[in-house]
Amino acid sequence: MGRLKDFYDLWVISRTFELRRAALVEAIQRTFERRGTVLPPVVPVALTDEFAEAWAAQWRAFPIGAFADTVADLRLFLLPLVVGLKEERIWRPSGPWSPRAAIDEA
């Protein structure tokens, strides 16, 4: 159940805090370096629909909706941190990532 708690924690963070892409990218890179692993070049298994379906029953212990919806939300939150987006962005609670102009207005 501990692994699913990580999904819940990340989902809550994505719904609660305003975050800057650069700080999160640095934290992710340092975590992978410390563990001696590389960032995956494709969508991680844990962010796929198949994974969400496989763990849906265990997810019912958490006080939010379907696991598939949570995984979809986390894909929107996490994937731009490791692929695609290179310029600075800001994440407002519940997203999505906004361009630099939104940061300047904050």
Tally of domains within the chain:
1
Query: Which residues lie below 8 Å from residue 34, measured CB to CB, with a gap of 6+?
Result: none
| Overall average pLDDT of the 33-42 stretch | 89
For residue 5, the model assigns a pLDDT of 93
Range of the domain at 37: 2-105
Residue 73 has pLDDT above 80, yes or no: yes
Report residue 80 as tokens: 């731009």
Residue 13 has pLDDT above 70, yes or no: yes
Cα–Cα distance between 34 and 49 in angstroms, integer?
A: 28
